[in-house]
């Protein structure tokens, strides 16, 4: 695997509980990285040798501002380019936005602000405007990312990392539970590929506070606290992985067929069927389909 970026889920906790959230972020979620874990990730990323970007995401990473700031400092000092994804709740005015962003100036090459009807009601909300103005003053590149309503079928879906601008909903995580009634459904048999993630060469992976390495949210390659990233990447065989193997062969429909799952019916997209199938498989592959947080379970057992 040639991994260019590691996206650190600094915390599963969030001040919002958005219906479209891949990782079930909410005020009630648990799991937050310590500085010790961040330092370990950075050491392992340097050992891998191909990682250029370190992103800090959530949940909402600014909720743990001291850890975020120190993590950014460490990543920048280690020679990585740094990105942050936030909902800009901290930008309650221009002065407030400046105060939050000024310590990050010169260390962050990409600040992505989530702004849409799921967050503040519109893309041009006050928080986003204040964050944009402060970032421009401080020389921090900023983009706005937004997710369209599920009824909007004319917006293209992002592949891999969510791109700047508006993207369509993909029905995984909380969206697979809360938004499917508002979208068209199609027979399960037609979902014969994974159109949203490159499961062979993803380019970037998500790492969570419990150590899990996600090729897609809730599908893991292992745990970097138990086995180094370099070994996990070298040993990953997408064709023999119990979940990515079927997905690569014939999409989430193959997951249903191969494991005899009771998922025949209609689904909104490939992610919706995959999410449903994975939930049915969690008992069979508990370390691959993990942790609980990624499936909206608040036990936090991993």
Per-residue pLDDT of the chain (302 residues; tens, 9 = 90+): 899 999 999 999 999 999 999 999 999 999 999 999 999 999 999 999 999 999 999 999 999 999 999 999 999 999 999 999 999 999 999 999 999 999 999 999 999 999 888 887 776 789 999 999 999 999 999 999 988 888 876 666 665 566 666 778 899 999 999 999 999 999 999 999 999 999 999 999 999 999 999 999 999 999 999 999 999 999 999 999 999 999 999 999 999 999 999 998 999 999 999 999 999 999 999 999 999 999 998 754 33
Asked if residue 207 is part of any domain, the answer here is yes
pTM value is 0.93
Strands (E), 75-218: 81-86, 110-114, 142-147, 165-167, 186-187, 204-207, 212-216
| Counted domains in the chain | 1
SS3 label, residue 5: strand
Asked if residue 279 is part of any domain, the answer here is no
Asked if residue 110 is part of any domain, the answer here is no
Asked if residue 273 is part of any domain, the answer here is no
Burial of 239 (0-12, 13-18, 19+ CB in 10 A): exposed
Asked if residue 115 is part of any domain, the answer here is no
Q: Residue 79 has which token pair?
A: 């020679």
Asked if residue 75 is part of any domain, the answer here is yes
- pLDDT attached to residue 157: 63
Q: Could you tell me which residues come within 8 angstroms of residue 177 by beta carbon, excluding any fewer than 6 positions away? A: 296
Cis peptide bond N-terminal to 27, omega within 30 = no
First to last CA, the chain: 25
Asked if residue 114 is part of any domain, the answer here is no
Residue 300 in contact with residue 30, Cβ under 8 Å? yes
Interatomic CA distance for residues 266 and 87, integer angstroms: 33
Q: What are phi and psi of 245, to 5 degrees?
A: -60, -55
Structural domain range at position 11: 5-86+148-178+200-236+287-295
- pLDDT attached to residue 121: 74
Place of tokens 């250029």: 52
Residues in the chain: 302
Interatomic CA distance for residues 191 and 280, integer angstroms: 17
Asked if residue 300 is part of any domain, the answer here is no
């Amino acid at each position: 695997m040639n991994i260019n970026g590691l996206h650190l889920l600094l915390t599963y906790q969030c001040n919002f509980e958005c219906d479209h959230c891949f990782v079930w972020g909410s005020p009630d979620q648990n799991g937050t990285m310590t500085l010790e874990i961040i330092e370990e990730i950075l050491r392992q990323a340097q050992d891998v040798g191909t990682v250029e970007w370190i992103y800090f995401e959530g949940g909402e990473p600014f909720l743990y501002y001291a850890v975020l700031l120190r993590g950014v400092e460490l990543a920048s000092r280690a020679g990585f380019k740094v990105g942050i994804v936030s909902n800009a709740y901290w930008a309650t005015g221009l002065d407030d936005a400046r105060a939050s962003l000024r310590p990050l100036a010169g260390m962050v090459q990409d600040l992505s602000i989530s702004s849409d009807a799921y967050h503040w009601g519109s893309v041009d909300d006050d928080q986003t405007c204040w964050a944009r103005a402060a970032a421009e003053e401080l020389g921090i590149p900023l983009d706005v990312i937004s997710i369209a309503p599920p009824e909007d079928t004319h917006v293209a879906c992002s592949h891999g990392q969510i791109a700047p601008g508006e993207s369509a909903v993909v029905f995984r995580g909380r969206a697979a539970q809360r938004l499917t009634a508002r979208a068209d459904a199609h027979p399960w048999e037609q979902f014969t590929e994974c159109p949203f993630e490159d499961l062979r060469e993803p380019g970037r992976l998500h790492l969570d506070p419990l150590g899990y390495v996600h090729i897609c949210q809730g599908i893991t390659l292992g745990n970097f606290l138990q086995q180094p990233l370099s070994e996990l990447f070298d040993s990953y065989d997408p064709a023999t992985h119990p979940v990515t193997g079927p997905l690569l062969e014939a999409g989430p429909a193959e997951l249903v067929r191969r494991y005899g799952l009771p998922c025949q019916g209609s689904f909104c997209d490939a992610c919706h069927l995959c999410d449903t199938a994975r939930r049915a498989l969690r008992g069979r592959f508990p370390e691959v389909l993990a942790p609980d947080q990624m499936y909206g379970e608040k036990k936090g057992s991993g």
